[in-house]
Amino acid sequence: MKKDIKVNVEHITRVEGHGNIVIDIKNGRIKELRLEIVESPRFYEAFIRGRRYDEVQHIMSRICGICAVSHTSASLKAVESAMGIQITKQSALLRKLAFHGEVIQSHILHLYFLVIPDFFNVGSIVPLASSRPDVVRRGLRLKKLANEICSIVAGRHIHPISLFPGGVTHLPKVSELKALKKRLEDSFEDLDATLELFRSFRVPQFSKKREFISMKEDGEYAFYSGDIYSSRKYSRKPKDYKKVIKESIVPYSTAKHAAAKKGPYMVGALARVNNNFKQLSKRARDAAKGLGITTYPYNPFMNNAAQLAEVYHCVEDAIKIIDRLISEGLRKEELKKPKKHGTGVGIVEAPRGILFHEYAIDKNGIVTEANCIIPTAQNLGIIEDDMRNFIPSILHKTREDITRDVESLVRAYDPCISCSTHIMDVRFED
């Protein structure tokens, strides 16, 4: 089929941040294809220099509203590693609990607010509020639960307050934890309904082999701690992240592209689920299987299924953490003090994938250098790759349908553009 099509989606909707899709097809061949990141650069790595170590998490959290807990956590881990701070078990548990809150919140937001409208063939959840109020209310209930987890532990989800270098500054009340546990247990009903709903959706068939990079840890499904791990079966310590990932700038994007040795790779829920499937909770594994994650899927559209499986996992694990906190008893603990200074790397699995923060801190506790690599920036290369490979299979469709399908593809990655505009250590494609 030889046709000419120009797609130009300015400010793609239902994603975080500003991006454009530009596709130019001449004679059935792709002449031009770009995912333009037009979000204004904000230069966090530049202006964090000169700030004190105990303000860093507060500032770096503001890289992104939707994955604020992740940025805060990666930032804290980097600072704590640079300064030799070892937090207590209780603090780590509380941080993990808040982290689960964020993952659930982010995935539910993506699935219910950004993705579902595509399957119902509407432009947003607004029309669904009247046609399918049950669906909308369920999504809102789940999202609220996720927000509550973060509120109880950290004050709020967007820019958490109590996560601080050396530990946490606030303890939830036992009564709050008990009430939260009850709500988490009750949420399985809504999750099962969500699962049913997503099972009824037809997932576009598109598959291309790729490298998945995530964290991996012995003993648990890695979100908050672990090493860097690739589906090409190698693993690296966090501090060696630069040996795995190289960044480059492209002239149409304020977000840098990243690549591993073998080129573009994918991070995020699907990468994690594929790499760490066995460590998912029981219900999460069942959900994943129910949604068709039986083999090792390379279909990026399966990212949504992986997200839903992870929501199950986080809810189950959150319940476990709460049980532990209650049975071990909450104690007021002082924040642990810094012991040294130097450079430190912190990595976590943000909802959209592995996230790196690295700082150099001087003897006065002042940051002198910083570097962050954001999940969406890592996915940009593979998204463009996928677009290139996906388009030929839908070329027979109308321009509108092509546009919608390509948008859905981009959206499946749940790109978070607002935070992907700050990256360091650039290598130029000359």
Sites for other proteins among residues 7-26 (CB under 8 A) = 11, 13-18
Q: By CB under 8 A, what part of segment 222-251 binds other proteins?
A: 249, 251
With respect to other proteins, which residue has the nearer C-beta, 16 or 349?
16
Cβ-Cβ contacts under 8 Å for 46 (sequence gap 6 or more): none
When asked if residue 270 is in the footprint of other proteins (CB under 8 A), the reply is no
Enumerate residues 406-425 that contact other proteins by CB under 8 A. 418-419, 422-425
Strands 211-216 and 265-266: parallel
147 binds other proteins (CB under 8 A): yes
Closest CA relative to residue 144, chosen from 182, 173, 101, 185: 101
Q: Does residue 428 belong to the site contacting other proteins (CB under 8 A)?
A: yes
Cβ proximity to other proteins: between 253 and 299 the closer is 253
DSSP 2-18: ---EEEEESS-SSSBS-
Pick the closer one to other proteins by CB: 236 or 399: 399
Distance CA 284, CA 344 (A): 33
- From the list 153, 131, 139, the residue with the least C-alpha distance to 106 is 139
Of these, 32, 46, 86, 263, which contacts other proteins (CB under 8 A)? 46
Q: Is the dihedral of CA 309, 311, 315, 318 positive or negative?
A: positive
Euclidean distance between CA atoms 116 and 113, whole angstroms: 6
Interface with other proteins, residue 96, by CB under 8 A: no
Choosing from 24, 119, 155, 227, the residue that interacts with other proteins (CB under 8 A) is: 155
Does residue number 143 form part of the binding site for other proteins (CB under 8 A)?
yes
Q: Least distance from C-beta 375 to other proteins, angstroms?
A: 15
What are 168's strand-pairing partners?
Answer: 163
Q: Which residue in 52, 243, 262, 289 binds other proteins (CB under 8 A)? A: 52
Q: Are 328 and 207 in contact, with CB atoms under 8 Å apart?
A: no
Q: Which stretch binds other proteins (CB under 8 A): 50-58, 219-227, 308-316, 344-352?
A: 50-58
> Residue-wise over 320-358: b if at least 16 C-beta within 10 A, else e?
ebbeebeeeeeeebebbebeebeebbbbbbbbbbbbbbb
Residue placing its CB nearer to other proteins in the complex, 24 or 369: 369
Query: Can residue 355 be called a binding residue for other proteins (CB under 8 A)?
Result: no
Closest C-alpha to 203, from 297, 313, 123, 107: 297
Size of the site for other proteins (CB under 8 A): 73
Min. distance of Cβ 346 from other proteins in angstroms? 19
284 or 374: CB nearest other proteins: 374
Burial label for 245, CB within 10 Å (0-12, 13-18, 19+), is buried
Q: Which of positions 248-267 make contact with other proteins (CB under 8 A)?
A: 249, 251-254, 256
Is residue 43 within the footprint of other proteins (CB under 8 A)?
yes
- Residue closer to other proteins, measured from CB, 54 or 217: 54
- The whole-angstrom separation of Cα 418 and Cα 38 is 9
- Residue 216's beta-bridge partner residues? 227
**Residue span 111-140 as binding mask against other proteins, x where in contact by CB under 8 A, dash where not:** --xx--x-----xxxx--x---x--xx--x
The contact pattern for other proteins, residues 159-178, with x = CB under 8 A and - = no contact, is x-xx-x---xxx--------
Provide the minimum distance between the beta carbon of 292 and other proteins in the complex, in angstroms, as a whole number: 27
